[in-house]
């Protein structure tokens, strides 16, 4: 039985998936690499078939894709990883850090040319440590048996990472790891830092005020929805960081 299973939900992520899977194979040679595709129209599936251990096809939606991947996982811990996020550590370091923990998450670093990305990442890391609520950008790591006992991710189109953290923190304290993952800052660079921060906090506030995830999804993606093109498809797996 492997110690770790990586579950990677994808939608039009062919441009970077090969590099991620190669990186995981090098740093985590004993781990499973499970890719769950939600209907890509590029070469994502071909890349996954070449380099992943398991490739699953399912309906688009991060929560559904990650639940499907977790159902096929055999590792003691399941690591939910975005397709543009790279762990800056190896298998031994993660297993040592998680030893005895039911669930946890990493620190995040944002890749990009904007200096403000470091400040944003620092606030994200501090917020998650204080609130015990992490985002998908931070690679959630959950003991497989614990994840299944708690019912996995809620079947909602947005805020699935926040929702599961709220449930899990009441059952067991998370381990806020000092280990870091590096994720793309493309959302902030393309939309603008101020507008993106305002949008993300508006979504969190609305969710706290019990606005439905379905309504938030429509607000975030607009009438066109996610997956209409490569950029929207990538965003569908990147709305974490909220």
Residue 98 domain-assigned (yes or no): yes
Confidence of residue 57 (pLDDT cuts 50, 70, 90): very high
Tell me, yes or no, whether 242 lies in a domain. no
Residue 241 lies in a domain: no
Say which residues have a Cβ less than 8 Å from residue 92's Cβ, sequence separation at least 6: none
Q: How confident is the model at residue 72 (pLDDT cuts 50, 70, 90)?
A: very high
- Read off the CATH number of the domain in which 90 is found: 3.90.550.10
Q: Which domain holds residue 187?
A: 4-236
CA dist list (Å): 55 to 17, 32, 47, 221: 13, 11, 10, 27
> Residue 145: inside a domain, yes or no?
yes
Q: With left for phi above 0 and alpha for psi between -120 and 50, is residue 61 left, alpha or beta? A: left
The total number of structural domains in the chain stands at 1
- How remote is the C-alpha of 133 from its chain's centroid? 13
User: What is the DSSP-derived secondary structure letter of residue 8?
Assistant: E
CA atoms within 13 A on the CB side of 125: 18
Gyration radius (Cα) of the chain, Å: 16
Query: Residue 230 pLDDT > 70, yes or no?
Result: no
């Amino acid at each position: 039985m492997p110690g770790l299973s990586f579950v990677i939900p994808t939608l039009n992520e062919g441009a970077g998936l090969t590099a991620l899977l190669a990186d995981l194979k090098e740093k985590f040679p004993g781990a499973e690499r499970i890719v769950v595709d939600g209907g890509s129209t590029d070469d994502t599936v071909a890349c996954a078939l070449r380099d992943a251990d398991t490739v699953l096809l399912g309906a688009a939606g991060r929560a559904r894709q990650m639940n499907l991947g977790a159902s096929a996982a055999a590792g003691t811990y399941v690591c939910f990883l975005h397709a543009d996020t790279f762990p800056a550590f190896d298998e031994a370091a993660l297993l040592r850090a998680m030893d005895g923990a039911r669930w946890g998450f990493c620190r995040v670093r944002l890749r990009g040319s904007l200096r403000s990305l470091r400040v944003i990442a620092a606030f994200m890391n501090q917020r998650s440590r204080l609130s015990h609520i992490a985002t998908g950008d931070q690679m959630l790591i959950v003991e497989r048996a614990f994840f299944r006992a708690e019912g996995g991710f809620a079947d909602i189109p947005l805020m699935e990472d926040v929702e599961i953290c709220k449930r899990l923190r009441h059952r067991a304290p998370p381990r806020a790891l000092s280990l870091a993952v590096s994720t793309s800052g493309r959302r902030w660079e393309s939309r603008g830092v101020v507008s993106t921060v305002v949008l993300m906090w508006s979504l969190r506030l609305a969710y706290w005020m019990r606005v439905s995830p379905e309504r938030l999804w429509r607000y975030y993606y607009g009438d066109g929805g996610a997956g209409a093109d490569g950029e929207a498809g990538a965003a569908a797996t990147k709305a974490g960081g909220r």
